[in-house]
Amino acid sequence: MKVEDGRQRKARRTREALGTAAADLMLERGLACVTVEAIAERADVTRRTFSRHFSGKEDAAVESTRVDGERINDALRARPAGEPPLVAYRMAVREWLFDETRPGLHRRPCGRALFALIDREPVLFAAFERVRLEAQEESVRIVAARLGTDADRDPRPGVVVAAGTGVLIAALRLWARGADDDPESLPAVVERAYDALGREVAARKGQPLGESPYPATKNRFSLL
């Protein structure tokens, strides 16, 4: 994790305050009834300050998910070098899920309600997808470095990260659509989702996925 100076720490706190204000207001009033001015007022900053940090209210509302993505990537960088990449990603997600010192989205007040709102509002989900893809691209770079390969030529880092993040998003959406607001319920859903992927991979071992339409060459890369 990067060490912050005073200016960076102040900027982070301002972004957090704006993100919290945006999320709270949208849960209180609904997306359409929330303005940037109202968010700035709730966070006790100016409209100009808001514009220095976010391009719109949707981006502010999903700020907590951007921070969570950064934290998962920090944990991924710190995983043991010899750990298989997909296992490393799963363990990084687990560290985020169970970290009580810096609560993730699921451990924050109304966290499930916020993700449910993101899930059902297309413009919010689009904002969420932007920050998710940014975090995913960084995850690919981290996995490529772990494998000592070039992600632009070797498909393995992208495949591993796509699988890992896909499982997490599927679990988040299941959790958001449920009725259980217990923060411990998300880790249970995530574990079941990763176990389901593991069983599917195990079931496919030794079974071809289908004949490739392309001729084999000496430069073919193994996906696993």
Residues 152, 159 contacting (CB under 8 angstroms): no
Residues 92, 23 contacting (CB under 8 angstroms): no
Residues 147, 84 contacting (CB under 8 angstroms): no
Average pLDDT on 169-176 reads: 91
- Does the pLDDT value for residue 214 go beyond 50? no
pLDDT at 76: 97
| Calculated CA dihedral for residues 174, 176, 177, 180, nearest 10 degrees | 100
Cα separation of 45 and 201, whole Å?
50
Mean pLDDT of the chain: 87
- Does the pLDDT value for residue 123 go beyond 50? yes
Longest dimension (CA), the chain: 62
Residues 71, 149 contacting (CB under 8 angstroms): no
Rounded to two decimals, what is the model's pTM? 0.85
Task: Kindly state the DSSP code that residue 1 receives in the 8-state scheme.
Answer: -
Q: How confident is the model at residue 110 (pLDDT cuts 50, 70, 90)?
A: confident
Q: How confident is the model at residue 157 (pLDDT cuts 50, 70, 90)?
A: very high
Residues 35, 70 contacting (CB under 8 angstroms): no
Cα separation of 6 and 3, whole Å?
10
Cα separation of 91 and 85, whole Å?
10
- Which residues, 6+ apart, have CB-to-CB distance to 50 below 8 Å? 18, 36, 39, 40, 43, 60
Q: What is the CA radius of gyration of the chain?
A: 20
